[in-house]
Amino acid sequence: MDQDLQLMKELTEAAGPPGLEVRIHNVMRRYLEQQTSHILSDNLGSLVGCLGEGGPRILLAAHMDEVAFMVSHITRDGFLRLQPLGGWWGHVMLAQRVHVLTRKGDLTGVIGSKAPHVLSVQERKNVLDIETMFVDIGASSREEAEMFGVEVGDPIVPICPFEVLPNPRMLMAKAWDNRAGCYVALKVLERLRREHHPNTVFAGATVQEEVGLRGAQTLAHTVDPDVAFALDVGVAGDTPGMNQKEGHSRLGAGPLLGFYDNSMIPHLKLRDLVIETAKKQRIPYQIDLMPGGGTDGGKIHTANRGVPTMVISVAARYIHSHVSIVHRDDLEHAVRLLVELVKQLDESTVNRIKGLDRRGGRPQEEGEKRLEREPSYV
């Protein structure tokens, strides 16, 4: 397994429930420290590595959390009730293995419900309510479950080992949403160390995206970027049953450029620059419109006085389940595109995108002095 695949394996297999991201946070910090001596963090756990000195501030933000669960109740018979963390659909949950992360160690369990043999005909037609499901860890009582170390509030994460499929470009794992973006952010930093870029780059990942884009809000205020890219995954439309209206992106056809989602419309001048760069560098890309979802860009682009922001994603199959699949070429092309974009974002280009004059001020604000921003590194 090459180094890039090993990085993907470590990123995807690390646990990172929203609000409880400590394990994936530690993985990200360790890899960021290999790329830069400067790490900037907010108070919730979002963090970025910093490269460059001076010039525009460019933020590349993935999110490190994954859809997961929390123990909401331990029944008298030792079963664990679930509080979803992020968006789950009942059909993808049943009979799936999970890890319960307790103070005494990780416990393996399985998500269960009433057996279909005892359901009415109408009940079988419906998606079972998550409230009726439970995790079976083999405990015979509440006291035994507590003896194992289980407490209300403990996180529960899916189990799915990283695996390279028979087509070696196809990669299966849990949490590609959004360890794909984490991988892209780390690889962009790695390559920029060998490139000249006329700016200061902040690349890393936020927390709590799956429960309301919370880390994006705090990180954007911490970094105060001039331009930002949200790095995420999009819904692949290349599986049986998907029609053109529901999704048309395909694995292996290039990164997704977000033209619309429920949280953000991209900045037009930045969008044009991304398209021009992809065409000039002959990097394949796909257009993505996602009316039913949002990304960290939704919070980043409204920070302070507004931040020109674009979402660059990769297509993924079966997100918000225990397993998902991405294409290695899409990850590589996303990295290439972002590196080329960063290299172009000098002060003149950023001012043009933001509508500023050559001196960095709007006509009605020429006498206004811009606040100096000094990051505090941790």
User: What digits encode the pLDDT tens for the residues 219-256?
Assistant: 999 999 999 999 999 999 999 988 766 667 999 999 99
pLDDT score of 225 = 98
Q: How many CA atoms lie within 13 Å of 240's alpha carbon, on the beta-carbon side? A: 0
Domain boundaries, the chain: 3-66+174-363, 68-158
3-state helix, strand, coil in the chain (%, to 5): 30, 25, 45
> Which residue in the block uniquely carries the two structure tokens 């949200």?
230
Give pLDDT, residue 366: 39
CATH superfamily, region 68-158 = Peptidase M42, domain 2 (2.40.30.40)
Instruction: Determine the Cα–Cα distance for residues 135 and 133; give it in Å rounded to an integer.
Output: 7
Give pLDDT, residue 370.
Answer: 44
Indicate which residue of 209, 340, 365, 368 is catalytic. 209
3-66+174-363: CATH topology is Aminopeptidase (3.40.630)
Contacts of 286 (CB under 8 A, 6+ apart): 248, 249, 250, 253, 254, 255, 256, 257, 315
pLDDT digits (tens, 9 = 90+) for 310-347: 999 999 999 999 999 999 999 999 999 999 999 999 99
On average, the pLDDT of the chain sits at 92
d(CA 104, CA 117): 36
Segments in the chain forming alpha helices (H): 3-13, 22-35, 121-125, 142-148, 176-192, 214-223, 268-280, 297-300, 328-344, 347-354
Residue 237 one-letter amino acid: G
Q: What is the pLDDT of residue 293?
A: 83
Distance CA 73, CA 90 (A): 19
H or E, element range at 114? none
Q: Which residues in the chain come in under a pLDDT of 70?
A: 244-247, 357-378
Catalytic, 347? Answer no
Provide the pLDDT for residue 124: 76
Residue 342 has a CB neighbour count (10 Å cut-off) of 25
What pLDDT does residue 378 have? 41
269 and 238 Cβ atoms separated by less than 8 Å: no
pTM: 0.92
d(CA 48, CA 39): 6
